[in-house]
A and B are shown apart, each in its own frame.
Chain A
Amino acid sequence: MIPERDRVALRPEQATIPPGHPWNRIPVIGVVCALLGIVACAILGAANPRQFFFSWLVSFLFFLSLALGALFFVLIQYAAQGGWGIVLRRIGETVFATIPAMAALFLPLLLGLHDLYEWTHAEAVAADPLLRWKAPYLNVPFFLIRAALYFGIWSFIALLYYRGSRGQDVTGDPGVSARLRRLAGPSIIVLALTQTFASVDWIMSLTPHWYSTMFGVYFFAGSFLGFIALLSVVAAAMRQAGLLETVISAEHLHDVGKLLFGFTVFWAYIAFSQFFLVWYANLPEETTWYRARMEGSWLTLSLFLMAGHFVAPFFYLMGRTVKRKGATLAVGGAWLLAMHFVDLYWQVMPTLHPEGVRPSVLDGAALVAIGGCVVAVAGWLLRRQALVPLRDPRLAESLAFENV
């Protein structure tokens, strides 16, 4: 007789990457991409360091926001005691386990603070009463302390949940789930605060005169939507690659699709609300940011974001059949991932190129470099672990999940 705690709904070999499977090569592919990207960044960046730092910032924010979105996804599953998503949780855990690596990828930006942020220039601050007034917050030492704090807190929460869940695979201790559930509420509050301040520090302070009290939510909306988009792509790709074919069902894809659809609307709601209040009040210190994005080719990109980040996916993801098929859902997810990148590009780049959209090879090089590092770490973790939390007490419930 098998004791209750040692019973598993899934055998480990049903939920691991088998030897010889193409997915075993992901870390190598990631490392190759990372090396190529870093070499390209080094060669091209030496000639144009400002462009390099801005490109690096966009790609860094892209992958960091996905990891933070993953952390939020797993935390709400614990806090709400969600059953349906257990089979998808390990994907989220793997994505947020890259946060400590993201801290290392943040370091190059420290060399370019002067290129990125106007408020680091003493003479600019001295000549500008508004910047002088903001100096107690916007100064380099405090900026560095805050960045260290963010990464410390995020890494702590990420490793706490990652290790807890991996440990449960071995021990089968249901107490782990209970403990992580109790910690989920406070963790969500801490995550929301740190993520808000990080978005203010790293994106909003690019235009130091400007402020928007909605900016933190805007960054959150993009990061969570971005992760759900990534989740839909990875889940569909896993099934396509013959991994978890019997585990992740059309029912799970359907729910991921509903989240993707819902948060497409949420992103648009927040993005529009932020714009709307600024546009209506028409106060000079608030309008500068949008003004830069409503002229020339930046206006074209703004309109493209409206259509591509909201209207098109809104109608595409509305139907039921689209959400229940891996291929069609992944198309929507991949598109929204691309739009999330464009959204961040649109937030960051007008500071560097106020004259108009100027795509650069360095944008691609930074994306490949950081993406390669992140994919290598995540792929390496995927090889070492089960692809689902094998002994979570709610795994059986998740396996049997059906939409009503």
Chain B
Amino acid sequence: MLFDSLRSLMARPPLANQLPTGPNYGILAEFATPADLFHACERVRDAGFTRWDAHTPFPVHGLEGAMGLRRSPLPWIVLGAGLTGAALGFALQWWVHASAYPLVISGKPYFAWPAMIPVTFELGVLFAALGAVFGMLGLNRLPMHHHPLFRSKIFERVTDDAFFISIESWDPRFDPTATGKLLESLGARRVELLESE
């Protein structure tokens, strides 16, 4: 229930709208080692592809550089969420204590700001943490229950011992034959053309 309501909160177009319209989803290439994958990524990046991804069983150091990824906007989301939380926390206490329901508590003024710092701080941290988690999920388009890559048999080894590059067919530079040849020339162990839904 909670997850259903959260998902509807994070409303976004259904997956079908984000997928390429052609007969092919894209091309999947399997590499044997992280080093092979790393160098292949550098070449795919230099070839000018933009709609593609790398898949590994564990984090590979420096891969984001080899893929030419820009820095994530996540820190700004976290900062915005944290400041929002702190401001909300402070405003809530000010409204309750100084405006809506003024009470003298232990001889302090109604607007006793030092007493409001702990809650302000905690709400700032809470919102920043939630911003980090849900911002990360949103930027990664998660949760996603199905992906065309999962229909590939060889892709199952991505959580085990194989390293993959997938290039999607809506990339302007995509060509079913030429892109496959390129990936083979970069040392791919196997190259597979994936059909669309």
Chain A residues at the B interface, C-beta cutoff of 8 Å: 272, 275-276, 279-280, 282, 318-320, 402, 404
Contact = CB atoms under 8 A, between A and B. Distances in A.
Given A402-B61, A404-B61, A318 B106 contact: no
Contacts of B117: 272, 276
Interface string B106-118: 1100000011011
A295 B117 CA distance: 22
Interface string B95-110: 0000000000011000
B79 A318 contact: yes
Contacts of A280: 106, 114-115
Given A272-B114, A272-B117, 18 more contacts: A275-B114, A276-B114, A276-B115, A276-B117, A276-B118, A279-B114, A280-B106, A280-B114, A280-B115, A282-B106, A282-B107, A318-B79, A319-B75, A320-B71, A320-B75, A402-B61, A404-B59, A404-B61
Contacts of A402: 61-62
B37 to A, nearest CB: 17
The prevalent SS among residues of A at the interface is helix
B187 to A, nearest CB: 24
A318 B75 CA distance: 10
A236 B118 CA distance: 36
The 6 closest A-B pairs by CB, nearest first: A279-B114, A276-B114, A402-B61, A272-B117, A404-B59, A280-B115
Nearest to A276: B114
Contacts of A272: 114, 117
A279 B106 CA distance: 11
A65 B145 CA distance: 55
Contacts of B118: 276
Interface string B167-195: 00000000000000000000000000000
Contacts of B59: 404
B186 to A, nearest CB: 24
Contacts of B61: 402, 404
A268 to B, nearest CB: 10
Contacts of A276: 114-115, 117-118
Interface in B46-96: 59, 61-62, 71, 75, 79
A320 B73 CA distance: 12
Nearest to A315: B79
A404 B117 CA distance: 33
A11 B103 CA distance: 71
A404 B75 CA distance: 15
A377 B59 CA distance: 46
A276 B119 CA distance: 13
B66 to A, nearest CB: 13
Nearest to A321: B71
A272 B106 CA distance: 19
21 contacts: A272-B114, A272-B117, A275-B114, A276-B114, A276-B115, A276-B117, A276-B118, A279-B114, A280-B106, A280-B114, A280-B115, A282-B106, A282-B107, A318-B79, A319-B75, A320-B71, A320-B75, A402-B61, A402-B62, A404-B59, A404-B61
B108 to A, nearest CB: 8
Contacts of A275: 114
A402 B61 CA distance: 8
Contacts of B106: 280, 282
Contacts of B79: 318
